Structure 1
Amino acid sequence: MPSFKAPTRDSRFVVNEVLKIDSYGNLPGFENSGTDVVDTVVEELGKFVSEVIAPLNLSGDQEGCTRHPDGSVTTPKGFKQAYDAFVESGWGTLAQPEELGGQGMPHVLGLLLEEYLCSANQSFAMYSGLTSGAVAAIKAKGSPEQQQTYLPKMISGQWSGTMNLTEPHCGTDLGMIRTRAVPQADGTYAITGTKIFISAGEHDLTENIIHLVLAKTPDAPDSTKGISLFIVPKFLLDADGNPGERNAVSCGSIEHKMGIHGNATCVLNYDGAKGWLVGEENKGLAAMFIMMNAARIGVGIQGLAQAEAAYQNAVVYAAERRQGRALTGPAEPSEKADPIFVHPDVRRMLMDAKAFTEGMRALAMWGGLLVDLSHKAATEEERANANDMINLLTPVIKGYGTDKGFETAVNMQQVFGGHGYIEEHGMSQFVRDARIAMIYEGTNGVQAMDLVGRKLGMNGGKAIQAFFAMVDRECAEAKGVERLADLAGRVEKANGELKAATMWLMQNGLSNPNNAGAGAHHYMHIMGIVTLGLMWIRMGQAAVAALAAGSGDAAFYEAKLVTGRYYGERFTPDAGALRRKMEAGSATMMTLPLEAFATA
């Protein structure tokens, strides 16, 4: 039976000692985010998800969701009670605006909530996670009336939200959508069409579901420039603003999936459903991207979350499972065999996992802080710089975070050997649940192309140049600290590889776009390596400072320094190999005709 315990000690270290969140107390939303408050929030949240949500993970995977003949959907046993407890405790309101019923805490703590929930039970977490994205879109583009009508109850958890993009014939190419929105005399629109892969599209957790639907009006351009966004509630609201008559939207089926079985991923049929335009007509894609960008950071955190849960269980198993003897002689001569933890190859997988999860946690939390600063920093320049940086890093958080998260989950399954292949141990579920994160909210190939094709060149390359300068500056500073000098030198070298890769793209990607496409995945991974290296430098700086101050918990800080050194030795060398792969270009990749791929 798998287990999960929220990594509260590491989270507190990142938020308090690395990000130094209490230093932002002068900014809106940070006034009540001192160390004591953060510690209390983190510990109580960790206790809640570990005790209430995590025990439903394996059973929810085994049971799945059930669609009934009337189109209604029941979530797995215990989900409704756990969701009610989640709402009653107010966790979903943590980082939402106070004027809409939220607690007004920093976004960085909201991302911490997402991590813990996803590690404990990713299927369960998706119900509230989709709602947060829908809230962000309505808050940014909805009319004041729409905001007052929907947001308070969505933020409280009484109602939930979804995003409806994909259709049977199109996924990423949204210009091809066929769902139609026909204007009505009362100012509403009749929405007709079919959407697929709709996470949390129908369920029994909330009294209403607010669907955000992309559709085209009759005279709209037949491209992405003709997409509009609509609010389509499951239940229409009565005069008092409460759920009344059922709208003409129904769940046609639940997708049969590899993982996240506890989340109802639906085919939704819209048969003239009543909808309300959000923002301007034909401007829906920009509105939906607000939701998608928030979701992409959340999905990157899902990669971290599944890696963390798998890692925790692999560590326990490696300490208990006995097979063979240590290569240097029996570690425990009184026993018939040593724990597999003594074997270097097992250590390799566990150390890789530790280096990735702790580095990725720091990156995710920094990303959350950047989101906060993009809205709340003291000056317009600081807000713009933070916004540029999080826009640059979002495809890296999503793409690199989920690629490595899945890889880590697979390696943790490998630690279990044959038992990792047996469902009751739960490792298969971590692998299956992690796999979807590489696909939805834009596949990782799309993330890589977004990074290379859009983010590098935005504002004349301002963000990537700022990133290079920041890494060089922090590496130079860390090289003057004896215990960080080796790591800093290695990260500095990897940053050099990233600069060279960027220059190669500038010289070869514009003249032949296939070169950019062929190298985008490798480029994203180089940037991921450098970014996590920067996180390890920052964590190393915090650890050195804590040890020098005699802060206690010396073993924790010493482990940080060792793990950072491991990251430098084992992760950063890949940057050079990836650059050389990228510089091979696209010629060989694109040469063979389709028939050459046939095997029969």
Structure 2
Amino acid sequence: MANFYNDNEDLRFYVEKWIDWEPLVRLTEHDFNYEDGFKDSGEAVEFYQEILELLGGFIGDEIDPHIAEMEREGPRYEDGEVFFPAKFDSIFEQIGELGIHGICVPRELGGMNTPLLIYMFQIGMMARADVSISAHHGFHCGIAMVLLVTSIAEGSTEFDPQTGHITSTRFGDEITDIMSGANWGSMDITEPDAGSDMAALRAKAELDEDGVWRVSGSKIFITSGHGKYHIVIARTEFDDEEKTGLKSLSTFLVPAWTEDADGNRVRVATVERIEEKLGHHLSATCEVHFDNAPAYLLGERGDGFRQMLLLMNNARIGIGFESLGLCEAAYRMARDYAAERESMGKTIDRHEMIAEYLDQMSIDIIGIRAMAVEAAYHEELAQKYKIMAAATTDAQESERALKLYKEHQWKARLLTPLLKYQAAEKAVEMSQMAIQILGGVGYTSEYGAEKLLRDAMVMPIYEGTSQIQALMAMKDSMSSIMKNPQAFVKRVAQARWKSVSERDPLARRVAKLESLALGAQQYLVTKTAVDKFKSLSNVPIFDWPQELTKEWDPKHDFAYAMLHAERLSRLLIDLNICELLYAQQLEYPERAGLLERYLERAEPRCRYLHDEITTTGERLIARLHPERAGESASE
């Protein structure tokens, strides 16, 4: 059987050559001061490789061959509980025996203490076999880490001031339970009529007379919602005029059941049903109802939306790796089939159009992985520097750690929505392309190509739609320019100069892409500012500075930028991938061919996107916002 690590040359490049493991391992191992820990980074990385190789073989041997059989049986709902095929349960028992449920939990809490990046790599490998199993697996260690990180943020985790090791944490028992594999958790956010619009959430939490929080309400589309530990977003502020909408939300841990003296479950949160879905047939996507369920407040009241955004960063990076695994499955299926299927005297991978499809799929996968690794790396460094700042008693060291936290957090923030957008959209595109290459048999269930498309269709929807990701990327781009326009103008000039003066032809080509992306951003900012000035016609001139810097209405003032948010995001995606591949080929010249392949496709695409941004949209904006053009909408 295949080993999903050993057979992936590009994945091994990052693990074995490219990633700068030293700072990440040093933070994870607390400067190598564990008595039973590693002596240096080299020893740690050897262990990480052994884990990935072990998991790659386990996934290839124990999971991948049994997916079709398990999916045909699927989970079933009986008397308020969810049951899975015997093989599914056996797989997770084996994962528990391997200790993988606690793969990135700190050593002092009983975990394997690997970087979160290793967890992300295994998510991608597992998703190549089946995204349902990958998603369910993610809610074991993932929820354990959410509880730990939340406890650290709220100050309920204690550290040894000498070593930085955790001595106690608020949810230690729950983390131990999850690592054992006995239980897992879920993120409960979505409600009927409240998906992307969190301000419309209706689930509520109130304090009873004994000071116990009680959560009531229904949540839908909850992946692995049959688990015990629910991270729930609920409304807590009802009469405070300053805490309305998103500011009225708080985060809770709600254990779905307790056990009586005989070990029987006494539920306080009920699973109402399993959703019937297009794909992810091995995933229990549940509707969960809470009726006065006892709950634990996480962090501060009214901080739920901010906490959700922080948790979403890791979740969206995880979806990036999950989508990447699905892309790998689609490409490999199409490639292997095309290499054997003969038509018109040759295998179809020798036909020009099919060869073009396969070439495009393979280079897109390389681009997605470059962004995924970069985003995950910076996100993890950011969180670990933040933990370091909380653990140390040295004020100077804490200040340094917080500075590094902010630097890495910003890099991760810029990449995360682009990664989630690109990986999710490409998962759908490549799955459809695989069906096309397989032809008639791709449309049948025999080969599994149709399953990949069914599974891929949700990727651009959950954990924030592609459109939400594009709006986030646009907002950060525009806000960054407006905060420091001088730096932006300087960057524009430098990009233009590099595009004609760089000696390295590849550097010139990447600089030209940067110039196109910056030009598009400059156009959108200028367009937005001009429209804002138009709205100031009835405002006294002395009030203009305040209006221009503070009184922005995103729904109105950024309309043109919002229209082009996806186009801008695709421009920024191509630029980021090319910059990452360029940096790689400087150190590893054998990667230069990958950059050339990507540029070959990115250059005409970026010119077209720039042209679309700068020449289209006026008619639609005038129809949607007639007050801006001073005319009535025309249909």
Change (3 A) 1:75 1:488: farther
Separation in 2 of the partners of 1:585 and 1:425?
A: 43
Which structure 2 residues correspond to residues 307-386 of structure 1 after superposition, within 5 A? 307-324=327-344, 337-376=345-384, 379-380=400-401, 381-386=403-408
Asked if the contact 1:530/1:572 (under 8 Å) is kept, the reply is: no
2:581 alignment partner, one of 533, 536, 552? 536
Higher mean displacement: 129-138 or 114-123: 129-138
Separation in 2 of the partners of 1:541 and 1:83?
A: 42
Percent identity reads 26
Q: 1:45 is matched by which residue type in structure 2?
A: L
Q: CA RMSD for the aligned pairs? A: 3.3
Separation in 1 of the partners of 2:559 and 2:624?
A: 15
Higher mean displacement: 283-292 or 127-136: 127-136
Using the TM superposition, give the Cα deviation of residue 228 of structure 1 relative to its aligned residue in structure 2, in angstroms: 1.2
2:619 alignment partner, one of 588, 594, 597? 588
Q: Does 1:500 align with 2:545?
A: no
Change (3 A) 1:184 1:585: farther
Return 5+ residue gaps in structure 2 as ranges.
33-37, 158-168, 386-396, 533-556, 626-632
1:421 alignment partner, one of 438, 443, 446? 443
Which structure 2 residues correspond to residues 88-487 of structure 1 after superposition, within 5 A? 88-142=97-151, 143-144=156-157, 146-202=170-226, 209-217=228-236, 219=238, 221-236=243-258, 245-324=265-344, 337-376=345-384, 379-380=400-401, 381-454=403-476, 456-457=478-479, 485-487=504-506
Return 5+ residue gaps in structure 1 as ranges.
203-207, 325-336, 545-556
Change (3 A) 1:41 1:3: closer
1:579 alignment partner, one of 610, 613, 635? 610
Asked if the contact 1:350/1:412 (under 8 Å) is kept, the reply is: no
Spell out, residue by residue over 1:463-498, the C-alpha distance to the aligned partner (whole angstroms, 9 max, x if none). Answer: 9969979x969x99x966xxxx44433322111111
Q: Does 1:490 align with 2:509?
A: yes
Asked if the contact 1:399/1:447 (under 8 Å) is kept, the reply is: yes
Separation in 1 of the partners of 2:183 and 2:104?
A: 17
Q: How many residues align?
A: 556
Separation in 1 of the partners of 2:511 and 2:368?
A: 19
Using the TM superposition, give the Cα deviation of residue 82 of structure 1 relative to its aligned residue in structure 2, in angstroms: 0.4
TM-score, normalising length: structure 1? 0.85
Separation in 1 of the partners of 2:308 and 2:89?
A: 28
Change (3 A) 1:539 1:346: farther
Higher mean displacement: 283-292 or 21-30: 21-30
Which structure has the greater CA radius of gyration? 2
Spell out, residue by residue over 1:356-398, the C-alpha distance to the aligned partner (whole angstroms, 9 max, x if none). Answer: 1122112211222212322446943433211110011110111
Using the TM superposition, give the Cα deviation of residue 243 of structure 1 relative to its aligned residue in structure 2, in angstroms: 7.5
Using the TM superposition, give the Cα deviation of residue 24 of structure 1 relative to its aligned residue in structure 2, in angstroms: 5.6
Change (3 A) 1:234 1:209: same
Using the TM superposition, give the Cα deviation of residue 462 of structure 1 relative to its aligned residue in structure 2, in angstroms: 7.5
Q: Does 1:522 align with 2:531?
A: no
Higher mean displacement: 121-130 or 519-528: 121-130
Change (3 A) 1:72 1:245: closer
Separation in 1 of the partners of 2:623 and 2:238?
A: 42
Moved beyond 6 Å, runs of 4+: 462-469
Using the TM superposition, give the Cα deviation of residue 26 of structure 1 relative to its aligned residue in structure 2, in angstroms: 4.4
Asked if the contact 1:60/1:261 (under 8 Å) is kept, the reply is: no
Which structure 2 residues correspond to residues 550-589 of structure 1 after superposition, within 5 A? 557=590, 560-584=591-615, 586-589=617-620
SS in 1 for 2:296: strand
Using the TM superposition, give the Cα deviation of residue 225 of structure 1 relative to its aligned residue in structure 2, in angstroms: 0.8
Asked if the contact 1:349/1:412 (under 8 Å) is kept, the reply is: no
Separation in 2 of the partners of 1:459 and 1:130?
A: 37
Using the TM superposition, give the Cα deviation of residue 311 of structure 1 relative to its aligned residue in structure 2, in angstroms: 0.7
SS in 2 for 1:103: coil
Spell out, residue by residue over 1:28-84, the C-alpha distance to the aligned partner (whole angstroms, 9 max, x if none). Answer: 43865425334322222211111122223333333332111x111112441111011
Spell out, residue by residue over 1:79-99, the C-alpha distance to the aligned partner (whole angstroms, 9 max, x if none). Answer: 111011111112232222223
Using the TM superposition, give the Cα deviation of residue 451 of structure 1 relative to its aligned residue in structure 2, in angstroms: 1.2
Using the TM superposition, give the Cα deviation of residue 454 of structure 1 relative to its aligned residue in structure 2, in angstroms: 3.7
Using the TM superposition, give the Cα deviation of residue 185 of structure 1 relative to its aligned residue in structure 2, in angstroms: 2.8
SS in 1 for 2:517: helix
